[in-house]
Structure 1
Amino acid sequence: MKQQYRQIPAAVLAVLTALSLTACGSGGADSKESTANDAAQSESTPKTPQVAQPENFDTYVSNTVVSTGNNAVIRNAEHVTYRAWIPVEEAGKLDYCFYFSNTIDSTWDDGSENYAGMSGGSYTIERASIADAGTEFDANVTPENSTPVTFDGAASKEVSPDETFWSDPVSFDVPEGHYLLWEWTLNGTEIPAIRMSNMTYAYADKGDDKGYLYTNEIPLPVLFGADRDVKTRIVTLGDSVTQGCQTTDFACQFWAAQTLEQLGAEDYSLWNVGLGYARATDCALDGDWLERAVAGADLITVAFGTNDIISGPYGGSGHATAEEIENAVRTITKRCTDAGVKTILWNSPPFDLAEELDAVRTDYNAQVESIAADCGAAYFDAATLLADPQDAAKTVYGQHPNDAGGTVLADALVEEIQTLLGSAT
């Protein structure tokens, strides 16, 4: 799953780095009061989850550690072509199938841009394809072996608000060390997207003769699924710490990627559904985000807290209380364990919070082990692993764990996973 990376110009890298510092959420410890009004809050009332063909998740498992999901929205796309360079977990010829959701999974900032449960708009997929993008990044690469991705046998598809759907299966060969290039052209409004935050290369061509330009916000499938024979499907569910924000750009050194690297993609798949700025209260709405995570998991990690503490639930009046976070996390954890999914519940790591906010984190963390026990989950003490030994409220590896912090987390988590699965060596 290792890739080779081409150096990009320093000026471009500086821009991308600046974007990554703000794109993951929780960029600082200052509080932000929600400005969402009651009408907007009512629109986010959870809908009955409609997971399309849940049995497909048994066949098509994630084939990339790069996070997927919807924490952004494209207000208007007029025949825009998007490209994403996707590092694959298992190379070679596989049958692929891609899953899509036209609903926003999680709230961004105060919810004025988008919020959990927000419906996507009506849009058209004019065409979609996958291709071999080679071993190095080139924004304007001419794809090799470009292969159409179709929908019910058609090259295009009209997508309705809140629709969930799968592509048709397509067989494709990604050589070892090569990227899978996802490319599609969309036309419409209010299209759910992900803030990629330099997890991988993402570009868009708006048809204005400027060619492909970097975009942090890109609509993508929420599962890059492949028919792979694995023993355990791992899903990592959480916020920007799970997504991998502020690790080395494009290098897949966040803890989820390192965890799969250690476990081995031959026996495991890892589906990263961590989203920057996400809250437990978003996930506890039990929309498609949580439903598909449960459907696609034999083992799941649940890691929330920071954004609940700083921003509070969408439509609320500010910071969540420890009890509010506990209630949301109990809902998520019980949903996972009730479905028979082996669940590892994290406590909330330090984030250099103001004293009054760290008190909320401390109060919540005091309950996490009992939440795990009550729900039949395993408990993972991420906070101790990441905290300054001299001051438990302070970070050692940065507010979003850097590459070294990712290694510390992965080392401990692999041991926990092997113990939980009865495969410790």
Structure 2
Amino acid sequence: MKQKEMQDMPVQDLALMKEYGSATVVSTASNFIMDREEAFTHTYRTYVRLREQGKLELRFWFSNAVDSTWDQGGVAKGGQPGGNWLIEAAFVADGGTGRNGEVSGQSQVPVTFGGSLTRLVRPGETFWSDSVEIELPQGHDLAFSWTIASGSGRSVPYNTEQMLVTAYNTPGKHADEPEGDLFALSENLLVMPAWIGYKKQSHLRMVFFGDSITQGVRTAKDGYDYWVARIADGLGADYNVWNIGSGWARAYDAAADGPWLHKAKQGDQVLIALGVNDIDIGERSAEELLQDLTNIVSTLKANNSEVDIILFTVPPFNFSGNREHIWRKVNEVLRTAPPAGVSRVFDIAAVLSQPAPHEHQVRPEFMSPGNDPHPNGLAGKAVAEAFLQWYERKELR
């Protein structure tokens, strides 16, 4: 891709995102990449609850790059470009309420790209679909089906965390088939466009920028009970909420100013909830983590001096030893002297933590099964209620 095209992309992205609102609170940030020994053709079908139903004009934005590092980065690292691959067909349809692999055949509408039913995708590029119109009855999901083909090697970035929505996949070209007989349930395999938009004038474009805790990992599939989803419900559809939480993500992925931060730059308001994985698998010191957060804020401000940045404290994650020490030190700084450019700090740790002196531990009722410190649906409710009360006090001033 030519250098001038790369420089122009943020302007193009921002212009269209002013016309369209984020249609779902489901995060489709990518933290993994397909790497196959042989060429393949495969179809993926995903059911997503949209923020509004009825007659909709949709548009899809694609980013052929890995957003954030998975595990130690042996397979996928933040900023890594995807490979060459082909969209052979893509369709939207009324997904109904059963999520059983089928769609309403009469509702299927092809998604096109510059008038074409196919699109060759190059490493690292971003691009839009054409607009598509569909009518969804109240309470029905949108079904997005597409067939992807690629040669051997690395190709399509995707999200490999626990499934928060129901999705299916099958070998071959079957995106246009309404039946679900050939499809098998997907596990740890969310293959979707980077952004689903619908024609909507919004009060504010909010980007929730974090890791698996922001993404909603460990909450119920199709439950939409993680805190970003609940906050979006509480604010209403006039608030444009884009969730780009990504499992295993860390602040230094964002501070590198790659594809993931480029997404965050599209917000009027960016809400940053990072740090758990930096302290844990990233093994960052308090000073390194604070510097990464400072760099994220300064980069966002350099891109748009008017952007409103809300920083979250680092959630408790049952750290011990030196990691507990780092967690406490970072949160003390965030509460008392956050990076320049941050307008407010929301203390999510205070909501999720046990009483002193065990603030580094998650309240037992908020942990996921198996003593997993990822916040569960009950925690999502508590965080959302606390955030909305805190947020709306400022909005009313």
TM-score, structure 1 length as denominator?
0.83
Please state whether the residue corresponding to 1:361 is helix, strand or coil: helix
Q: Deviations over 1:351-398 (max 9, x none)?
A: 111321111111111221355362232111111111011411111112
Indicate how the Cα distance of structure 1 residues 224 and 196 shifts in structure 2: closer, same or farther if over 3 A, else same: farther
Q: Distance in 1 between matches of 2:87 and 2:218?
A: 32
| 157-166 or 403-412, which deviates more | 403-412
Q: Distance in 2 between matches of 1:142 and 1:96?
A: 18
Runs of 4+ in 1 over 6 A off after TM superposition: none
Equivalent residues of 1:333, 1:345 under 8 A apart: no
1:386 corresponds in structure 2 to: 352
Q: Distance in 1 between matches of 2:8 and 2:81?
A: 13
Q: Deviations over 1:241-273 (max 9, x none)?
A: 0000111222000000110111112x2121110
Please state whether the residue corresponding to 1:352 is helix, strand or coil: coil
Q: Distance in 2 between matches of 1:136 and 1:206?
A: 22
Number of aligned residue pairs: give it: 369
1:30-69 aligned at under 5 Å gives the runs: 50-51=9-10, 52-69=12-29
Equivalent residues of 1:336, 1:342 under 8 A apart: no
1:226 corresponds in structure 2 to: 198
Q: Distance in 1 between matches of 2:353 and 2:140?
A: 37
1:191 corresponds in structure 2 to: 156
Alignment equivalent of 1:326, drawn from 282, 290, 300: 290
Q: Distance in 2 between matches of 1:208 and 1:160?
A: 21
Tell me how far 1:143 sits from its aligned partner.
Answer: 4.0
Indicate how the Cα distance of structure 1 residues 122 and 221 shifts in structure 2: closer, same or farther if over 3 A, else same: same
1:22-421 aligned at under 5 Å gives the runs: 50-51=9-10, 52-76=12-36, 78-141=40-103, 143-188=105-150, 189-207=154-172, 211-215=182-186, 216-265=188-237, 267-295=238-266, 297-312=267-282, 319-338=283-302, 339=304, 340-370=306-336, 372=338, 374-390=340-356, 391-396=358-363, 397-398=366-367, 399-420=373-394
Indicate how the Cα distance of structure 1 residues 53 and 304 shifts in structure 2: closer, same or farther if over 3 A, else same: closer
Structure 1: segments with no counterpart, 5+ residues: 1-46, 313-318
Equivalent residues of 2:163, 2:190 under 8 A apart: no
Tell me how far 1:142 sits from its aligned partner.
Answer: 5.0
The residue type paired with residue 204 of structure 1 is: N
| 271-280 or 381-390, which deviates more | 381-390
1:3-22 aligned at under 5 Å gives the runs: none
Q: Deviations over 1:14-54 (max 9, x none)?
A: xxxxxxxxxxxxxxxxxxxxxxxxxxxxxxxxx97943442
Q: Distance in 2 between matches of 1:56 and 1:371?
A: 36
The residue type paired with residue 230 of structure 1 is: S
1:423 corresponds in structure 2 to: 396
Q: Once superposed, what is the RMSD of the aligned Cα atoms? A: 2.0
2:3 corresponds in structure 1 to: none
Q: Deviations over 1:270-327 (max 9, x none)?
A: 11100010000001111122122221x2222100011001111xxxxxx111111111
Indicate how the Cα distance of structure 1 residues 144 and 353 shifts in structure 2: closer, same or farther if over 3 A, else same: farther
Equivalent residues of 1:133, 1:143 under 8 A apart: no
Equivalent residues of 2:270, 2:307 under 8 A apart: yes
Q: Distance in 1 between matches of 2:94 and 2:272?
A: 33
Residue identity (%):
33
Q: Distance in 2 between matches of 1:90 and 1:347?
A: 31
Structure 2: segments with no counterpart, 5+ residues: 1-5, 175-180, 368-372
Please state whether the residue corresponding to 1:302 is helix, strand or coil: strand
